[in-house]
Amino acid sequence: MLTIVNDGDALAAVRAFASAIPRGSWFAACGEALTAGEQADAAAYLAALGMPDITIAGVAGWREAAATTQSPAWSRAWWDAETRAQAELRRRAAARFGAERMLAALTVVTEAAASLSGAASLAMSDAGIADPALTRVAAGAAAQACHQAALALAAAAGPGHLFAVKYRLFAAGRWPLGIVGDRFFVF
C-alpha cells in the first residue's frame, strides 16, 4: 500500500492514501485475540523499530487500554526511536518535494483523519463505554499513525517501514498502544 513508483506520483499517492482513511476498519478488532497476521505485523514493527526482543501483548478491553496509555512505565527508547524516524522521513520528503508541497499533501491526510474520532466513539459505544477523553486519545493516536504513514509514503520508505506497518495495524481495526515496560501492547 505504501509503495511509490516515481517522485511525480508520490504526492498524488499521499492524497489517494488520505481518501482511503475513512474506509479503514478503525478500532473494530480492539479487544479480540491477535491474529497470526497481526502478530507478524507487530513483530515487523518492533524489528523495524530496532526493538525485536520486546514481547507482544494483547489488551482485552477499553479500560485496560486506557490504563496502558496512562502508565508511567512507557518506554522512552520507543518514543525516541519513533521521533527520530519521523524526523528523518520529514527531512527526506521535504528534500524530494519542498516543505510547502509536502505540508499541503499532509494537510489532506490530517483532514481525512479527523473522521477517526467518530470511529473510536462508535467502537467504545459498542463496548458500552462513553469516555470522551479516551475517544480523543484513541483518535489522536490513529491520526498520528496516518500522518506517519503518509510521511513514509512521501519519503518512499516502502511497505516495511515501521510507520507503514503501524498504520496497517490501525487500519485493520487495532490500536497499537505502545511499549510499556518490556511489552508492546496492541489493543
Domain count, the chain: 1
In a domain, 76, yes or no: yes
Domain membership of residue 139 as a residue range: 7-186
Taking 70 as the threshold, does the pLDDT of residue 109 lie above it? yes
| Span 155-186, pLDDT tens digits | 999 999 999 999 999 999 999 999 999 999 99
Residue 5 pLDDT? 40
Taking 70 as the threshold, does the pLDDT of residue 6 lie above it? no
Report pTM: 0.91
Distances (CA, A) of 41 to 36, 159, 168, 182: 9, 11, 8, 18
| Span 58-107, pLDDT tens digits | 999 999 999 999 999 999 999 999 999 999 999 999 999 999 999 989 99
Closest CA to 124 of 168, 63, 169: 63
Give Cα 84 to chain centroid, integer Å.
15
Taking 60 as the threshold, does the pLDDT of residue 16 lie above it? yes
In a domain, 130, yes or no: yes
Residues 6+ apart with CB under 8 A from 127: 30, 31, 61, 62
Residues 6+ apart with CB under 8 A from 141: 170, 175, 176, 177
In a domain, 65, yes or no: yes
In a domain, 2, yes or no: no
In a domain, 1, yes or no: no
